[in-house]
A and B are shown apart, each in its own frame.
Chain A
Amino acid sequence: MAFNGVNISVEAPIENQIQEITYDGVEIYQPPLTLSESLAKYAQKIDFSKTEADLKCEDTLDDSKSDSDSKEAFQSSLWPWDNVRNKLRNAFQEICVLADVLAVAKDKKYMVLDPVPQEPLETKTMVQIFARKKALAGAADVLLAGVEKLKTSQNEAARNRTTPDFHIELLRLRQNWRLKKVSNTIIGDLSYRTAGSKYLQTGTFEVTKAEEDEKSSSPPSSPGGVPPIKPSSALKVSIPSELQGVAYIEVLCQKDQEDLCSANINLLGSGAPSSNPDMHWQQKLEAAQNVLFCKELFNQLAKEAVELQAPIPHMVVGNQIMATVLPGIQLIIALRHSTTADKKLEKPAPSKSEHDHVLEHSLHQLLREVHHKNTHHPFPHPATGPLGPSKKRMMAGPMAADRYELLEMTKQEKLLEQIVKQAQHFIMRMRTEYVLDTIAKEFKDPLISSHWNTLNSPTQSCVKINISTHGYDAVCRTPLVIHVGEKSLKCICRDGKVMNMSYEPQELRDLIFCHINQHQILAIQALAKTMGWQSLGNSNHLGSGPVEPLGNAASCLLVSPTGDRIIAVRCEPQASGLQVSVAHSPRTDFFPSRLVTERKWEHLGGQFRDVRLDKMEGKNFLHKMELLMASLTSNS
């Protein structure tokens, strides 16, 4: 207690040990130990025998016996301190003796403390010599190997200056790829992690100096006498086996086991690199990176295919994802990864890929977009705010967005959904094109021309259709605009009406037919106006006549300038459904009968007689009608 330090009181925690927890959760505690009990417990924990055993040599036997005796006795004896007392007494005795000895030795009269001399080690000289010799030989070997290396490299550098220097190559590699030095090796990274990818697979490769390869490859090249651009470089990159080879993602649109279209994704384009071992490192690394990218893309798509709850569930089988785009049409996305050997065998597959590069590009683009989003957070992001939420979400607080809006914000379109939508649009566009082209081919009389907008989004495009008659474009023209969406078509008609159609191409076909029909009626009225004829009336939906299978017949009634000729035109939506009739009033010849006694009654209008259009001259319907009107006008 020389130091008047801080008093520290040590106590056991108040909580008692839990003895048992009953099923109803009641904890039964052990009763706390009394003071004497706990002191005895702690004293028992002190192991006195340890130090004693070291000091005592001979007489421990007896002591330990007595110790164990006393320990056993302790269990039963009423006085638990017997053991402790004995130990303490022994220790005290020893300390006393030691103190005496030290006191005596200090006087240096009766006792002197001397260091004990140690036995000198017996050294065998021969063994030492051999060991040194061996060590020296080892060191010499290392030095000689180094010299050899330096010599060969210098010789080589002197012999052919064309071989690029390792360090220059390394510099070039460093300019394009991420490298780092880990102890004695150079490790590179070709993953898209820095570009925002969160794919777990690492894309590490190792860079080594290629000397053995060069040695073996240079002799065959030198006898040829041709110093070509050496394919082998001073660098060798070793890529993990799972990234070797060539990979691409194949996108197919199938209709009942029949290919509608297909696109192959290969980031390296047409020039698929052969994966021979002496490929240049740049190509090798690019190929490996491509493999990694394809793997990530496919992994992402497969994950989403399993997660998404589509009406017709997506299927993931092996390296293939199948999603239903439209009834009867499937989108198949497959990961094709070929190593060197079967590269030649797969040659027929790419022949399918001549179709369209839109889906190829889109898939590529979609993942890049995800990467970009991961690294580029929308501005402004305050230093205190969290990173990650969209700009909209960031504004949600101050703009007091309600629950519904917030819920909407959490919904994000998955990659697969987007590509399915694009595929749907692709098919819709193809179908629309097909329908328009076939109708344009079928119909020559009103000409149908379609103009596709060059600017469109991956899921929406627009086509403008003009129905006009050759030679009469200025007289009448029926424009239509069709918006092609993902699963539906929207047609904006000439009169501003909007028609929504489903993905069935027949609907569009029917609509175009109806419009051809209307066009004819409108065109003939416009023509009549220029000819000086009057339109008595027209109806786009005629109630009379036989029921049409499609839409309604349209008709119009025209009267000549003098009013004595009437032309009636009836147009049915079916092909070649044009009927033209002519009536004269009064008739040129009049014979009084018993019923019609006077000529004036003939002004009421006479019988209609059909005109046989196919026998008439004229290039098309409007031309024929022009001729007909002209002839009827001149007659009067």
Chain B
Amino acid sequence: MGVTILTQFPVENKTGPQIIELLSKRISALGAVPQGQFLVDCETYSSVPALGHQRTVHVLHNSEQPATVFALLETGTKTIPLATDGLFDLLMMKMSSFYQSKKQTKAESKGPRFEIGDFCVKLGSVTVSSNFKGVLVEVEYKPCVVPAMCWDLIMEFMQGFLGSLGPTTPPSFLQNRMQDIYSPIDTIQQYLEHFTLFRKSPGPALIMRPQ
């Protein structure tokens, strides 16, 4: 388990598969080895009005942690992260009278997964309720757990295959957690941040680089 940085890759008049292929070629040229596929999905449940104040639960799965279900509860003032067992999915089903899922907002990011030395690179094409929205690039540096210590290295590595489009500042989520020990739930929080952005944006063309 290492530090993971998630970034959007802008789509400029290209289709998702084209971009994935382009990036795959670039990363393969660096010597990366394809290691199967990955999938991160997110489903959002919102509380029924009878419960009072509106709350939202995002339930996410990451193929990297197959036995775990992540849940982020947004109360409006703060976000409560939770990493649980696979049984949580069943629990959500039981709670369907309190938390109802918004079917049209199911977001997922899936695509090829590469390994290159200590890095693990995932190129995901994001779909929100099966509409293509954009491309997310995930880079994990496995030997380190403190983001501040390896941010420069990861940034340099990302610029190596993303070119000038790579990130220059840490993701906003990590900016005030740079000295903390990184955990898988932080990856999930980054994904949720991006998924929320994608959901709001009307189409793939309008995605801006987060600066």
Contact = CB atoms under 8 A, between A and B. Distances in A.
B85 A400 contact: no
A400 B60 CA distance: 12
B69 A402 contact: no
A400 B66 contact: no
B67 A396 contact: yes
B87 A400 contact: no
Contacts of B65: 400-403
B64 A403 contact: yes
B47 interface: no
A401 B69 CA distance: 11
A382 to B, nearest CB: 9
Contact of B83 (A385, A397, A403, A406): A397
A403 to B, nearest CB: 6
A394 B85 CA distance: 8
B96 interface: no
Contacts of B87: 384-385, 397
B68 A397 contact: yes
A402 B184 contact: yes
B66 A398 contact: no
A399 interface: yes
A402 B84 CA distance: 13
Contacts of A399: 83
Question: In which size bucket is the chain A interface?
Answer: 10 to 19
Interface string A395-421: 011111111001000000000000000
Contact of B84 (A384, A393, A397): A397
Contacts, number: 41
A401 B87 CA distance: 15
Interface string B161-185: 0000000000000000000000111
B86 interface: yes
Nearest to B82: A398
Interface in B47-103: 63-70, 83-87
B1 interface: yes
Nearest to A384: B87
A409 to B, nearest CB: 9
Contact of B68 (A384, A385, A401): A401
Interface string A609-627: 0000000000000000000
Contacts of A401: 65, 67-68
Given A396-B67, A396-B68, A397-B69, A402 B83 contact: no
Nearest to B183: A400
Nearest to A385: B87
A402 B1 contact: yes
Contacts of A400: 1, 65, 68, 70, 83, 183-185
Interface string B183-211: 11100000000000000000000000000
A385 B85 contact: yes
A415 to B, nearest CB: 27
Interface in A355-396: 384-385, 393-394, 396
A397 B1 contact: no
A406 to B, nearest CB: 6
Given A400-B183, A400-B184, A400-B185, A406 B85 contact: no
A398 B64 contact: no
Nearest to A382: B87
A398 B185 contact: no
Contacts of A393: 67
B102 to A, nearest CB: 25
A289 to B, nearest CB: 40
Interface of A: 384-385, 393-394, 396-403, 406
Given A396-B67, A397-B68, 12 more contacts: A384-B87, A385-B85, A393-B67, A398-B84, A398-B85, A400-B65, A400-B68, A400-B185, A401-B65, A401-B67, A403-B63, A406-B66
16 contacts: A385-B85, A385-B87, A396-B68, A397-B67, A397-B68, A397-B84, A397-B86, A398-B84, A400-B1, A400-B68, A400-B184, A400-B185, A402-B1, A402-B184, A403-B64, A406-B67
Interface of B: 1, 63-70, 83-87, 183-185
Shortest Cβ-Cβ A-B pairs, 7 listed: A397-B85, A400-B184, A396-B67, A400-B68, A400-B65, A397-B67, A400-B83
